[in-house]
Amino acid sequence: LAPTLAALRTGKILALANKESLIVGGELVTSLASPGQIVPVDSEHSAIAQCLRSGSKQEVKKLILTASGGPFRGFTQDQLARVTPAEALAHPTWVMGKVVTTNSASLVNKGLELIEAHLLFDIPFESIEVTVHPQSVIHSMVEFVDGSVIAQASPPDMKLPIALGLSWPDRLDSVSNPVDWTKSHDWHFEPLDESVFQAVRLARQVGKAGKSYPAVYNAANEQAVMAFHQGAISFDQITDLIERAVDAHQPDTELTLASVLEAEKWARDRTDAQIAKAC
């Protein structure tokens, strides 16, 4: 967070690959950034930025973030309670690190991206939706007031959003192989079951609350993910521990760098204590 704030103060364009700094910093970051100063590198938000070129902000009805659904798409709560760390790391379309892959499996990552979309594009949470798209070819969509939906499609790798992050608003030649339209494709979309994957519902709640709540959400999750991979808790307890921390948090009235760091430490310590009790 501190380097993000420092980079923005220089007035330079910031290609934001570390979504957490924006999410936990919230208004600290957005109040420093001038229009267009932050260029998203997350594939979903890069896609939205591209789609938004098709109309004015006043013409935007909703943003639609796509989620692969992870390896546990279609699972029940009972099934989630029995999954293993190895299964959580077996992502069907993306190759990522341990924490991000687990976050994708729990849908915490999509919850974080929901908050990120709100902060980046200044669109209310009520106008940001999540839909499950297992093939991960449509990276996100924007629906406009006339009923038109603009989608960004490309194979599921990070070459294109990284290149756009470095060259925005221009495009570089031959960065990524496009979708091959000479072949047949089956692209599937389905609603996200937030009653099972509650991380998105909880993220919407903390995003609306603002202040240091998103920092608590993120920090509690990181401790819970670590505990899951150590065998200390079950997979379904990750979201439960996040919600406990969020419910118990009492934020400072003013958001500062110090209050964010203090809230993160509080959330980590509290979550670790909850995990110790469960062991």
Chain segment 127-180, per-residue pLDDT in tens: 999 999 999 999 999 999 999 999 999 999 899 999 999 999 999 999 999 999
Percentage of the chain modeled with pLDDT above 90: 94
Predicted confidence (pLDDT) at residue 279 exceeds the cutoff of 70: no
Report the pLDDT value the prediction gives residue 93, as an integer from 0 to 100: 76
Owner of token pair 């990750």: 238
Mean pLDDT of the chain: 95
- Classify residue 241 by burial, with Cβ atoms within 10 Å: 0-12, 13-18, 19+: buried
How far is it, in rounded angstroms, from Cα 175 to Cα 164?
A: 9
- Verdict on whether the full-model pTM lies above 0.85: yes
pLDDT digits (tens, 9 = 90+) for 222-261: 999 999 999 999 999 999 999 999 999 999 999 999 999 9
DSSP state of 154: -
Report the pLDDT value the prediction gives residue 153, as an integer from 0 to 100: 97
Owner of token pair 């330079």: 12
